[in-house]
């Protein structure tokens, strides 16, 4: 699974640290220097920095001053603190891994006081990922975040508030720096979340309700654990989503080799990694054909070829998930490689996006 | 951790049932005993890297430091790593985690409240981190300030004679520590009796533990529980630190996959809060109901 590029392109301090050119793009009101971000729950910039700081404070500061992602998506926050699922939480499986993390987090109150300030100190935009168990959970968290952001960064632009996401003046307010991603698709909690995202009407209701509260970029992260993603994608778009993140993990099960009982503490888990790439690509491809809002593609991305394929299927931004566990600098490396790959094809980023459909 | 480096295999040697792999790691920053690295053979068929304790290290020339790992082949990733030959390459990320950082602070010779004896307990491949620990103890002894440990006892448990070959790895480091004037006692025991009487390492610990000693340990979870149980039974002041294992995806605090419940019920990440925890933190003050003296021992 170590892709060939690993061998030739260094990482970390060895990786080219320049920002790739010609890859600038945007997600609604948010400008991105390139189209590669991280998938929620798979990269903690501050933990990487703390780990670097153990041996080199300067390297840690440099990492945060120039993060390896075009925008940073932190782990899901829920209204109340959650300890997460009991261990064991992860297991490598053929071509990927199963996880049953269970959305551990300190809850929105702690998030606003402890996480938000340092997130806003990052030089890149952030896309805050919110999870819940009922419609009101999402609305409540969005409202709390909006108030906190207005306090920290000033009120959103007048026009922007009036006409939702249409009239946003880019750069005029926090709307160009902070987005929201609704996680209606976590398979590792037993109520809400994925059951909301598996239901077209529930998804539409959550999105519409959050849309009322949230003037900025609104992404909805959908689950692949349904027979047809397209109707849910369409419902989310019609309810006011600015973009869709495709996909969360596929619900799976692994047994303990010896006892033949479920291995993971949470019993079932979410499958991610190269094993799910063809499944995720298919979903991005189908949704692109049916829905006309930007897509963030993810599922097994580990090489520049994977990035090109998600773009070609119709994603305009690509997220690196579990592959970042073996290399936290992966998104930056892929962006640099993408620049070279586009140059070799004499193509602009915009020309590749959706080309599988032509 | 500095950054992820493509290391080169410099040397590979079979040591009984385990394999010692020495890597040349560009940009390696010196590890503390008990710290680990995430390793993955280049071109690996596995998706994720795996965690390995730093066994020994030699500070770098211009092409990097020499860092050794002792690997027990038990599955796909470890099978790949032990099959490598000199010249092959390995992705290495480290050093990571909190090691046996208390080594420099333990009561030494003549210190009030402590006997100054240090007991090092290892089971199977759990002996891996202790060459680096001996090296650190030698540095502490050589630095003379604060004195040395009055005695260091290495108590190692193995499954059988083949696994017990790992004892040979400790001879140079033991000799070096003795040369600094620290008495060192190295004793092994095998479950099948091939080193004399059969038994688990906890049997050795029962014989040697005294109030006022300090213990550092690494091995199967059941062994660690049994060691802590002995510490509690030996009475006040016998303190212990354990290097624990958990499945890891990242090693740098991002996946939240490596958590282990602490005595107070809080889940701690083995990769960041650990892998070394104090006995009090992880097992608490109450004796573990299943920690009978023979509950754990060698194995890996
Ligand atoms: C901090 C730390 C330090 C370590 N230091 C060392 C070291 O110095 N030397 C060393 O050899 N090892 C060390 N390890 C252990 C090493 O990381 C593991 O042996 C390695 O991950 C095994 O990988 P593998 O692919 O070979 O085996 P895997 O197939 O991944 O198996 C790993 C473990 O998971 C269990 N497992 C996997 N799948 C299942 C299943 N379906 N059902 C039940 N059980 C399953 C296996 O029984 C085994 O115990 C350390 C671990 C940690 C956390
Ligand atoms: C360990 C782990 C934790 C995750 N945590 C979250 C999370 O908190 N919120 C979320 O929306 N998705 C979470 N995901 C899903 C990823 O963001 C991503 O959608 C999925 O892993 C597919 O991408 P990949 O194959 O590249 O990993 C998690 C995935 C993994 C592997
Ligand atoms: S291994 Fe990923 S958080 Fe510890």
Per-residue pLDDT of chain A (358 residues; tens, 9 = 90+): 444 434 333 344 445 455 666 899 999 999 999 999 999 999 999 999 999 999 899 999 999 999 999 999 999 999 999 999 999 999 999 999 999 999 999 999 999 999 999 999 999 999 999 999 999 999 999 999 999 999 888 766 544 444 444 444 444 578 999 999 999 987 777 667 678 889 999 999 999 999 999 999 999 999 999 999 999 999 999 999 999 999 999 999 999 999 999 999 999 999 999 999 999 999 999 999 999 999 999 999 999 999 999 999 999 999 999 999 999 999 999 999 999 999 999 999 999 999 999 8
Contact A44 B253 (CB under 8 A): yes
pLDDT at A358: 83
Contact B252 A90 (CB under 8 A): no
Contact A13 B259 (CB under 8 A): no
pLDDT at B116: 82
Q: How far is CA A180 from CA A51, A130, A164, B164, in A?
A: 27, 7, 14, 56
Which 8-state DSSP code applies to residue A150? H
Q: Is any atom of ligand 2 closer than 6 Å to the C-beta of A274? A: no
Ligand 1 centre distance from Cα of residue B124 (Å): 13
CA A301 – CA A12 distance, rounded (Å): 18
Q: Is any atom of ligand 1 closer than 6 Å to the C-beta of B273? A: no
- Residue in A55, A104, A329 closest to B29 by CB: A55
- Residue in B29, B40, B247 closest to A90 by CB: B247
CA A174 – CA A161 distance, rounded (Å): 12
Q: Is any atom of ligand 1 closer than 6 Å to the C-beta of B269? A: no
Q: Quickly state the pLDDT bin for B102 (edges 50, 70, 90).
A: confident
Best mutation site among B48, B271, B274, B277 for ligand 3 pocket (most ligand atoms within 8 Å of CB):
B271
Ligand 3 centre distance from Cα of residue A161 (Å): 40
CA A314 – CA A292 distance, rounded (Å): 10
Residues of B in contact with A88 (CB under 8 A): 246-247
Give pTM, 2 decimals.
Answer: 0.93
What is the rounded radius of gyration, in angstroms, for the C-alpha atoms of chain B? 18
Q: How far is CA A188 from CA A245, A264, B215, in A?
A: 18, 11, 39
User: Taking CA atoms, what residue in A is nearest to B272?
Assistant: A51
Which 8-state DSSP code applies to residue A33? S
Q: In Å, how far is B171's CA from the nearest CA of chain A?
A: 30
The pairing of beta strand A126-131 with beta strand A25-27:
unpaired
Ligand 3 centre distance from Cα of residue B244 (Å): 13
Indicate which atom in ligand 2 lies nearest the CA of residue B255.
Answer: 1
Q: Annotated active-site positions of A, please?
A: 186
Q: In Å, how far is A245's CA from the nearest CA of chain B?
A: 20
**Minimum mean pLDDT among B126-130, B139-143, B165-169: which range?**
B139-143
- Can you name the residues that pair with A32 across neighbouring β-strands? A25
The ligand whose atoms approach the alpha carbon of B128 most closely is 1
Indicate which atom in ligand 1 lies nearest the CA of residue A257.
Answer: 42
Q: Domain extents for chain B?
A: 5-96, 101-283
Q: Quickly state the pLDDT bin for B104 (edges 50, 70, 90).
A: confident
Q: Is any atom of ligand 1 closer than 6 Å to the C-beta of B130? A: no
Q: Is any atom of ligand 2 closer than 6 Å to the C-beta of A294? A: no
pLDDT at B105: 76
Q: Quickly state the pLDDT bin for B298 (edges 50, 70, 90).
A: very low
Contact B47 A322 (CB under 8 A): yes
Q: What percent of chain B has pLDDT over 70?
A: 88
Q: Is any atom of ligand 1 closer than 6 Å to the C-beta of A329? A: no
Find residues 84-123 of chain B whose CB sits inside 8 Å of chain A.
89, 91, 93, 95-96
Contact B3 A7 (CB under 8 A): no
User: What's the full length of chain B, in residues?
Assistant: 300
Which 8-state DSSP code applies to residue A112? I
User: Taking CA atoms, what residue in A is nearest to B3?
Assistant: A12
Residues of A in contact with B91 (CB under 8 A): 2, 6, 326-327
B267 in A contact zone (CB under 8 Å): yes
Q: Is any atom of ligand 2 closer than 6 Å to the C-beta of B104? A: no
Q: Quickly state the pLDDT bin for B300 (edges 50, 70, 90).
A: very low
Cis peptide before B95 (omega within 30 of 0): yes
Best mutation site among B52, B72, B96, B275 for ligand 1 pocket (most ligand atoms within 8 Å of CB):
B52
CA B294 – CA B300 distance, rounded (Å): 16
A253-284 in b/e form (b: 16+ CB < 10 A) is ebeeeeeeeebbbbebbbbbbbbbbeebbebb
Confidence check: pLDDT of B285 > 80: yes
Indicate which atom in ligand 1 lies nearest the CA of residue B243.
Answer: 1
- A118, A126 Cβ separation under 8 angstroms: no
B286 versus A320: which is more confidently predicted?
A: A320
Which 8-state DSSP code applies to residue A113? I
Confidence check: pLDDT of B23 > 80: yes
Q: What is the mean pLDDT of residues B130-136?
A: 96
Q: What percent of chain B has pLDDT over 90?
A: 76
Indicate which atom in ligand 3 lies nearest the CA of residue B259.
Answer: 4
Fold of B101-283: Rossmann fold (3.40.50)
Q: Is any atom of ligand 2 closer than 6 Å to the C-beta of A276? A: yes
pLDDT at B10: 96
Q: Give DSSP secondary structure letters for chain B.
A: ----EEEEEEEEEEETTEEEEEEEETTPPPPPTT-EEEEEETT-SSSS-EEEE--EEEEEETTEEEEEEEE---SHHHHHHHT--TT-EEEEEEEESB-SGGGGGS--TT-TT---EEEEEEEGGGGTTHHHHHHHHHHHHHT-TT---SEEEEEEEESSHHHHGGGGGGHHHHHHHHHTT--EEEEEEETTSTTSSB--HHHHHHHH--TT-EEEEES-HHHHHHHHHHHHHH-TT-EEEEE-----S-SSSSS--SEEE-TTS-EEETTTT-BEEEHHHHH-SSPPTT--TTS--S--
pLDDT at A185: 85
- Cβ-based burial of B165 (10 A; exposed 0-12, middle 13-18, buried ≥19): middle
pLDDT at B59: 80
Contact B91 A2 (CB under 8 A): yes
Best mutation site among A223, A270, A300 for ligand 2 pocket (most ligand atoms within 8 Å of CB):
A270
Fold of B5-96: Elongation Factor Tu (Ef-tu); domain 3 (2.40.30)
B183 in A contact zone (CB under 8 Å): no
Q: Which of A280, A333, A254 is nearest to B247 (CA)?
A: A254
Q: Is any atom of ligand 1 closer than 6 Å to the C-beta of B275? A: yes
User: Which tens digit of pLDDT belongs to each residue from B198-233?
Assistant: 999 999 999 998 877 899 999 999 999 999 999 998
């Amino acid at each position: 699974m170590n892709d060939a590029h690993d061998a030739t392109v260094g990482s970390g301090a060895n990786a080219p640290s320049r920002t790739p050119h010609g890859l600038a793009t945007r997600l609604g009101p948010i400008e991105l220097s390139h189209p590669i971000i991280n998938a929620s729950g798979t990269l903690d910039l501050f933990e990487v920095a703390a780990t670097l700081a153990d041996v080199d404070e300067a390297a840690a500061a440099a990492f945060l001053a120039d993060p390896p992602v075009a925008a940073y998506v932190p782990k899901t926050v829920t209204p109340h603190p959650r300890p997460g699922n009991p261990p064991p939480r992860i297991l490598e499986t053929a071509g990927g891994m199963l996880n049953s993390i269970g959305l551990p987090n300190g809850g929105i109150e702690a998030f606003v006081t402890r996480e938000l300030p340092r997130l806003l100190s990052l030089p890149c935009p952030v896309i805050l990922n919110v999870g819940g168990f009922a419609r009101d959970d999402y609305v409540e968290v969005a409202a709390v975040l909006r108030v906190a952001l207005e306090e920290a960064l000033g009120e959103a632009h007048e026009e922007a508030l009036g006409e939702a996401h249409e009239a946003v003046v880019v750069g005029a307010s926090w709307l160009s720096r902070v987005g929201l991603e609704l996680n209606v698709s976590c398979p590792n909690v037993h109520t809400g979340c994925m059951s909301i995202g598996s239901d077209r009407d529930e998804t539409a209701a959550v999105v519409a309700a959050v849309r009322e509260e949230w003037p900025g970029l609104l992404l909805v992260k959908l689950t692949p654990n349904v027979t047809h993603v397209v109707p849910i994608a369409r419902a989310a778009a019609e309810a006011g989503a600015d973009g869709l993140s495709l996909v969360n993990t596929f619900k799976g099960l692994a047994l303990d080799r010896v006892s033949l009982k479920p291995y993971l503490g949470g019993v079932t888990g979410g499958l991610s990694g190269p094993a799910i790439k063809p499944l995720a690509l298919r979903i991005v491809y189908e949704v692109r054909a049916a829905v006309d809002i930007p897509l963030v593609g993810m599922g097994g991305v580990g090489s520049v070829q994977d990035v090109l394929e998600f773009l070609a299927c119709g994603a305009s931004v690509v997220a690196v998930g579990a592959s970042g566990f073996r290399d936290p600098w992966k998104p930056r490396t892929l962006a640099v490689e993408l620049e070279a790959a586009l140059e070799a094809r004499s193509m602009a980023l915009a020309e590749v996006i959706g080309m599988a459909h032509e | 951790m500095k950054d992820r480096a493509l290391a080169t295999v410099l040397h590979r040697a079979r040591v009984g049932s385990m394999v010692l792999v020495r890597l040349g790691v560009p940009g390696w920053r010196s590890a503390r005993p008990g710290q680990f690295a995430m390793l993955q053979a280049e071109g690996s068929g596995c998706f994720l890297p795996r965690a390995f304790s730093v066994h020994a290290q030699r500070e770098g020339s211009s092409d990097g430091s020499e860092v050794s790992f002792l690997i027990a082949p038990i599955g796909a990733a470890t099978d790949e790593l032990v099959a490598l030959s000199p010249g092959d390459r390995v992705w290495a990320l480290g050093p990571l985690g909190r090691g046996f950082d208390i080594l420099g602070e333990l009561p030494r010779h003549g210190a009030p409240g402590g006997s100054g004896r240090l007991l090092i307990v290892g089971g199977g491949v759990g002996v891996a981190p202790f060459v680096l620990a001996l090296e650190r103890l030698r540095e502490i002894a050589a630095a003379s300030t604060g004195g040395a440990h009055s005695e260091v006892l290495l108590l190692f448990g193995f499954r059988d004679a083949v696994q017990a070959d790992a004892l040979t790895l400790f001879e140079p480091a033991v000799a070096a520590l003795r040369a600094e004037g620290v008495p060192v006692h190295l004793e092994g025991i095998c479950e099948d009796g091939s080193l004399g009487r059969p038994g688990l390492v906890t049997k050795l610990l029962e014989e040697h533990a005294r109030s006022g000693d300090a213990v550092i340990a690494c091995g199967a979870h059941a062994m660690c529980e049994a060691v802590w149980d002995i510490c509690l039974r030996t009475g006040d002041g016998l303190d212990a630190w354990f290097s624990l294992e958990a499945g890891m995806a990242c090693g740098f605090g991002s996946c939240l996959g490596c958590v282990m419940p602490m005595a107070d019920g809080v889940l701690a990440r083995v990769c960041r809060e650990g892998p070394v925890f104090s006995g009090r933190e992880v097992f608490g003050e109450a004796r573990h109901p299943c920690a009978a003296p023979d509950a754990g021992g060698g194995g890996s």
